[in-house]
């Protein structure tokens, strides 16, 4: 045994001796000495508590755990917060369930807020199986499970979303309005992240697309994977008729566009969203398209998309592309550099942005002509 260890043991022995003396006086001990005494003999806390002069938030982790094991609510609360912040997994659930009944309303609210901010809904759900939670938390858990919820109004955890039954409001200030739709809380939150990212950097220009608040469809939205692609069916779609396009959030599969529907998945990023928005304007992928599609798209000559020419001879300044590698004829694109339509790690460049805006402007003119002719 080293001299340092002997001194430490002697120090603890002396402190324990103080505890069992006829009239112990702890007030003269330092905070460190009081802490060491409680750690060495947990029951000494009850005698030392009046002069401990330390709040749970100031204490060491070791001291917090020792006093929390004595079922002291303020110390249990502190231990719970620390375990949650440290992402402790093995014991946190048992600690939470055991401690909850001894916490006051404010402490329960703070723990709930931390569980939500950390995304630990499984722990919140475990609580709900043993204790009655407030209606706001109950609704939040229902959305987390994909169950039907009537309204999100007055719910602080869900006010940034809409339900499918609540009236939607599209924006007249944008050329196109997109409804963002998901079937559970995870999907809603992913759409919210994408919405925020898009609004920070709208493409191809501000005022072209407006994205709705994420809309909760619960079991009215069902998704699965088909040939690797994420595909979704939405019931009661007519209630969203004021939107130009629907953006549906699936769990797995490849993102894609089909008609007025865009389907994204858990791995979709801001660049994925921009890539798929370009498909709404008729742009084609610049990586090899599937053989089934290439069979008809790459069978005849001509310009097939704003960024795709098919044939034996390219237009001036166009260069070979990979789009029709699995098709009959060769394909060409309007830029020699790699683009977002080929690699989603690449940002939209100015060449494609201008080409995209030109397509949108031409469609705006076509719409105007169509309206005039209808009048």
The rounded distance, in Å, linking the Cα atoms of 75 and 115 is 18
How high is the pLDDT of residue 369? 34
Q: Is 303 helix (H, G, I), strand (E, B) or coil?
A: strand
DSSP one-letter code for 307: T
How high is the pLDDT of residue 371? 29
Axis crossing angle, helix 73-85 with helix 92-99, rounded to the nearest 10:
150
How high is the pLDDT of residue 170? 75
How high is the pLDDT of residue 9? 55
Q: Print the SS3 string covering 235-262.
A: CCHHHHCCCCEEEEECCCCECEEECCEE
How high is the pLDDT of residue 197? 98
Cα–chain center distance at 293: 33
Q: Is 118 helix (H, G, I), strand (E, B) or coil?
A: coil
How high is the pLDDT of residue 364? 61
Render each residue's pLDDT in the chain as its tens digit; 375 residues.
Answer: 565 555 455 555 555 555 444 446 778 889 999 999 999 999 999 999 999 989 999 999 999 999 999 999 999 999 999 999 887 777 899 999 999 999 999 999 999 999 999 999 999 999 999 999 999 999 999 999 999 998 898 899 999 999 988 767 777 789 999 999 999 999 999 999 999 999 999 999 999 999 999 999 999 999 999 989 999 999 988 789 889 999 999 999 999 999 999 999 999 999 999 999 999 999 999 999 999 999 999 999 999 999 999 999 889 999 999 999 999 999 999 999 999 999 999 999 999 999 999 999 986 645 533 322 232
**How many CB atoms within 10 Å of residue 248?**
24
- Give the H or E element holding residue 318: none
DSSP one-letter code for 213: P
The rounded distance, in Å, linking the Cα atoms of 277 and 96 is 45
**How many CB atoms within 10 Å of residue 126?**
16
Burial class of residue 305, CB neighbours in 10 A (0-12, 13-18, 19+): buried
Q: Is 144 helix (H, G, I), strand (E, B) or coil?
A: helix
Cα-Cα-Cα-Cα torsion 87, 89, 94, 99, nearest 10 degrees, comes to 0
Using a CB cutoff of 8 Å and minimum separation of 24, what contacts does 158-165 make?
Answer: 160/192, 160/213, 160/214, 161/188, 161/192, 161/213, 161/214, 161/215, 161/216, 162/212, 162/213, 162/214, 162/215, 162/216, 163/215, 163/216, 164/215, 164/216, 164/217, 164/218, 164/220, 164/236, 164/239, 165/239
The rounded distance, in Å, linking the Cα atoms of 200 and 196 is 6
């Amino acid at each position: 045994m080293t001299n340092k260890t002997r001194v430490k043991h002697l120090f603890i022995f002396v402190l324990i001796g103080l505890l069992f003396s006829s009239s112990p006086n702890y007030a003269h001990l330092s905070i460190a000495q009081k802490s060491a005494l409680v750690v060495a003999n947990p029951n000494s806390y009850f005698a030392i508590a009046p002069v401990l002069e330390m709040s749970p938030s100031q204490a060491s982790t070791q001291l917090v755990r020792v006093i929390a094991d004595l079922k002291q609510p303020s110390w249990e609360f502190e231990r719970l917060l620390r375990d949650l912040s440290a992402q402790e997994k093995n014991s946190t659930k048992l600690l939470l369930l055991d401690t909850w009944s001894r916490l006051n309303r404010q402490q329960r609210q703070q723990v709930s807020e931390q569980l939500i901010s950390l995304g630990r809904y499984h722990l919140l759900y475990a609580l709900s199986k043993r204790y009655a939670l407030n209606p706001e938390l109950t609704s939040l858990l229902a959305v987390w499970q994909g169950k039907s919820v009537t309204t999100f109004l007055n719910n602080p955890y869900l006010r940034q979303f809409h339900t499918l039954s609540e009236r939607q409001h599209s924006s007249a200030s944008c050329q196109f309005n997109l409804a963002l739709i998901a079937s559970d809380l995870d999907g809603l939150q992913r759409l919210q992240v994408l919405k925020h990212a898009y609004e920070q950097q709208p493409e191809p220009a501000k005022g072209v697309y407006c994205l709705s608040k994420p809309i909760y469809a619960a079991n009215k939205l069902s998704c699965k994977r088909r040939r690797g692609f994420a595909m979704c069916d939405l019931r009661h779609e007519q209630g969203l008729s004021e939107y130009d396009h629907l953006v549906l959030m699936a769990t797995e599969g490849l993102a894609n566009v089909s008609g007025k529907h865009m389907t994204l998945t858990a791995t979709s990023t801001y660049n994925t969203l921009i890539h798929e928005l370009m498909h709404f304007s008729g742009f084609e992928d610049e990586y090899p398209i599937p053989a089934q599609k290439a069979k008809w798209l790459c069978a005849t000559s001509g310009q097939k998309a704003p960024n795709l020419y098919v044939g034996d001879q390219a237009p001036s300044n166009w260069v070979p592309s990979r789009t029709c590698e699995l098709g009959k004829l060769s394909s060409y694109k309007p830029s020699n550099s790699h683009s977002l339509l080929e690699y989603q790690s690449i940002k939209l460049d100015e060449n494609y942005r201008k080409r995209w805006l030109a397509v949108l402007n031409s469609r705006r003119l076509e719409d105007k002509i169509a309206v005039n002719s209808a009048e």
